[in-house]
Structure 1
Amino acid sequence: MYLTSRELALLADVFKLLADRALPEDVLRLEVGRRMLDLLRADFFGSYVWDDTQGIFTNRVAINMSADNLGNYERYFQYRDPLTPLLQHQRAAVRVTDVMAHDELAQTELFNDFLRRDGLHWGMNLFVWDGDTNIGDLRIWRGAHGENFSDHDLAMLELIRPAFTAALARSRGAAGIATLPDGVAVEFTDGDPIARLTRREREVVTLAAEGLLDKEIAQRLGISYTTVRTHLDRSFQKLGVSNRSRLARLLQLPRR
């Protein structure tokens, strides 16, 4: 497989990102998607996580797509989607046209009332599997002004699949024990509000609720200041709080 110097540099950046153990799952998917749009010269990106219990896609992140339109997909189109189930069961990167001819897709409600609304025309997807569990995906699209994805494009997306799978599996974070660097362990049960956070997010918000500044948290956990801010922003959003005082009250931890 021949790669240009541009492609090599962009792929190196993707693999560097995938090696970052501090990124939460949704940030990881978003940042990989942003880089793949650049690498593949594509226009649109979306990503979900499959909830096997409910039988729905959740935890959306997206680039250059309408939030209203994606909301329509989540409320209506995903239940009437003839395309995505065909793509989801592929264990490697796949073009949309590899599972459904474009002329056939263009006759569907999904294309005319969802995909075309944002300008999506040519698609390529990667559904990530950890054993028998679908743990995330990358949905990459070009507009009608572009060309269908080539075999070379497909090979580059497939190239990142093993590392992306490992990174997603690592970053999922389950409820349990979060252990801070100084050896202090904090237990979270399913009934706790922060049980919905990743392990690293729990570590960051616990230290923030105790009164540590962002720079102090970064030093304590051995991560960057920017990463601390990313974890806090995502945690505040998930918990429905807007500042450290409300976070401390939610966790019922004394502030310094």
Structure 2
Amino acid sequence: MHLTSRELALLTDVFKLLADRTLPEDVLRLEVGRRMLDLLRADYLGSYVWDSAQEIFAHRVAFNMSADNLGDYERYFQYRDPLISALLTRRESVRVSDLMPHEALVRTEFFNDFLRRDGLHWGINLIAWDGDENIGDLRIWRGEHRENFSDHELALLELIRPAFTVALARARSEAGLAREADAFADGTAAEMAQTGADLLGRLTRREREVVSLAAEGLLDKEIAQRLGISYTTVRTHLDRSFQKLGINNRSRLARLLQLTRR
């Protein structure tokens, strides 16, 4: 696949963003989507996450689309979207015109009373699938003044799909760990002890050894000497442990271990 210098620069920026472990899911979807608008020379972005409990698309982020129109989509048009059933069978990026001929789409209520209101004409979509779970999408559109998306532009969107999926899954997992850690911090002593024990159960034997010594106040080099491992290995074990426990500093680690030992 040949990339121009412009495309390479913009893709590099997208992949840097996807590697940022500090961004929550909604920020990732919005910022990646905005950059893909630039890369694909597109105009509009809508992005949702499928809520399987309520069986609706929720958690909207959008760019260049009216809130009123998107509200109508959530209340009405998502239940009458002629593209969704075909889209949900795809595991790769796809043009809207490959889901439904454009001549047929423009005759639908969905096009005339929803898409056209904001000027959406040509679409391209990406769904992030974590196994069988839809964890987010990018719905990118061009106005009527532009042409339909090319095969090359479709390939550009598909190029970021695996990393986009991994980044969303990671952000979702880390958000879940953070909620557990907050529940731990807000609970009773017994609840905190049980929650802390559950969190610590996610660590390997070596990770538990490292965090135990870190909580006692040993420096990384001292831990390395005590366990007979390298300084780099200590840092790796600590970073992974902090991620698994949903914490970001040694004081919270020490508090967690103190409560689980009561």
**Is 1:178 aligned to 2:177, yes or no?**
no
Correspondence 1:46-195 to 2 at 5 A: 46-172=46-172, 173-174=175-176, 176-178=179-181, 186=185
Match runs of 1:177-256 below 5 Å:
177-178=180-181, 186=185
- Which 10-residue stretch deviates more, 88-97 or 16-25? 88-97
Whichever of the two has the greater Rg, that structure is 2
Name the stretch that deviates more: 10-19 or 170-179.
170-179
Name segments (4+ residues, structure 1) moved above 3 Å. none
**In structure 1, the residue corresponding to 2:185 is in which secondary structure?**
strand
2:23 equivalent in structure 1: 23
**Could you tell me the TM-score, scaled by structure 2's length?**
0.68
Aligned-partner Cα distance in 1 for 2:85–2:22:
31
**Secondary structure of residue in 1 paired with 2:181:** strand
Tell me if structure 2 keeps the 8 A contact 1:45–1:138.
yes
Once residues 46 and 60 of structure 1 are traced to their aligned partners in structure 2, the CA distance between those partners, rounded to angstroms, is 7
How many Å separate the matches in 2 of 1:37 and 1:188? 44
Secondary structure of 1:74's match?
helix
Going by fraction, where is helix more abundant, 1 or 2? 2
Contact kept, 8 Å, 1:177 with 1:188, in 2: the verdict is: no
The aligned counterpart of 1:6 is 6
Shift of 1:80: 1.1
Report the Cα offset of residue 178 of structure 1.
2.5
Q: CA deviation at 1:188?
A: 7.1
* Local SS of the residue matching 1:154: helix
Give 3-state SS (helix, strand or coil) of 1:60's partner: strand
Please provide the CA RMSD for this pair. 1.8
| Unmatched 5+ stretches in structure 1 | 180-184, 190-221, 223-256
Q: 1:38 to 1:178 in 2, by over 3 A?
A: same
Q: What residue number does 1:32 align with?
A: 32
Q: How many pairs are equivalent?
A: 185
Q: Please state whether the residue corresponding to 1:186 is helix, strand or coil.
A: helix
Residues 202-234 of structure 1 show CA distances to partners (whole Å, capped at 9, x for unaligned) of xxxxxxxxxxxxxxxxxxxx9xxxxxxxxxxxx
Distance 1:187 1:135, change over 3 A: farther
The separation in 1 between residues aligned to 2:105 and 2:127, in whole angstroms, is: 19
- Structure 1 residue 82: Cα displacement: 1.1
Q: Which residue is equivalent to 1:238?
A: none
